[in-house]
Amino acid sequence: MKREAFKMFLKPGFEKEYEKRHAAIWPELKKMLSDGGVYDYSIYWDKDTNILFACQKTRGEESSQDMGANPIVQKWWDYMADIMEVNEDNSPVTIPLPEVFHMD
């Protein structure tokens, strides 16, 4: 099991839309992530900075951040590109966060 955290950036004014889209996450995306070993995945929103903080656990070495070649992921990126800061390929701008403390 591996834990991973990263931050992303939500465009101002799209908080409700972001929540709405994730509340209706595509079943094929959820299955692909689960089949790829991603579980216990949460995203938190810092309303003061519009930073999204994501944390996930994975079985194996791959995480959601390694699945960008999958067409389902690319379609999701395109769907989310209007409300997040993205790279040229519409992948969200993400910054990995190193773990400095953990307590079970």
Helices assigned H by DSSP within 1-104: 15-23, 27-35, 71-80
Rounded CA separation 12/84 (Å): 9
Q: Which residues are catalytic?
A: 22
Length of the chain, in residues: 104
